Amino acid sequence: MKSKEIQELQELIGFIAESGLEEVVIETGAFKLKTRRSAEGKNNHLVSVPQVVAAPSVTPVIATPVAPQTPATPVETPSKPVEVAAGGKIVAVKSPMIGTFYRSASPTNPPFVNVGDTISKGQVVCIIEAMKLFNEIESEVSGKVVKVLVDNASPVEYDQDLFLVELA
């Protein structure tokens, strides 16, 4: 299966999960997908699909007061501008996939990172759930977290800004 086909299949399964349909059967020449929801809303049948996950990308951002690109309310310091040290460079850590954003591994655990935390390249900064799979998202940069742009348990889109980081 090509990566484009896998991505389309992942989006279809996500749509089915969110639609509330009781049962869905899809047959093509390449595969057969059948899912049925029990009374509790859990799937009785799971189809395993290889997941291709792109590395998070980082994009330089102008070091001026920053507003989130999405209508979601920022989690930290909602009305204060981002303070940047002289000569500091801000980059956005972006979502590598569509899914649900989580700041911690479980509701009882503390967030992976908070505003003011120093992070290093490869450090887990959040989790994105996509089709019942929990994907740890690692930072591609080292620096200080200056802003969290997404609320916990909110849906995120591919390439959406998640955090602003002042490079070290």
Please tell me whether residues 41 and 82 are part of one structural domain.
no
* Overall domain count for the chain: 2
pLDDT given at position 74: 44
**98 and 121 share one domain:** yes
- Note down the domain range covering 83: 58-167
Identify the residue with better confidence: 50 or 130. Answer: 130
The answer to whether residues 131 and 115 belong to one domain is: yes
Three-state DSSP class for residue 12: helix
Residue 146: name the closest of 116, 119, 167 by CA.
116
For the full predicted model, state whether its pTM sits above 0.85.
Answer: no
Report whether pLDDT(70) > 60. Answer: no
Angstrom distance (rounded) from CA 7 to CA 126: 21
Tokens of 44: 């009785």
Query: What is the percent of the chain where pLDDT is above 90?
Result: 46
User: Of the given ranges (12-21, 32-41, 98-107, 113-122), which has the lowest mean pLDDT?
Assistant: 32-41
**Which parts of the chain fold into alpha helices (H)?**
3-19
Instruction: Tell whether 162 and 116 lie within a shared domain.
Output: yes
Cβ proximity of 58 and 94 under 8 Å: yes
Under the banding of pLDDT at 50, 70 and 90, the label for residue 85 is low
CATH number where 79 lies: 2.40.50.100
Lowest mean pLDDT among 45-59, 87-101, 148-162: 45-59
Which of residues 29, 52, 75 is at a domain's end?
A: 52
Same domain, 102 and 150: yes
Question: Do 87 and 136 fall into the same domain?
Answer: yes
pLDDT digits (tens, 9 = 90+) for 113-140: 999 999 999 999 999 999 999 999 999 9
Whether 106 has a pLDDT exceeding 60, the answer reads: yes
Would you say residue 146 has pLDDT above 80? yes
Q: What is the pLDDT of residue 43?
A: 46
**Do 101 and 34 share a structural domain?**
no
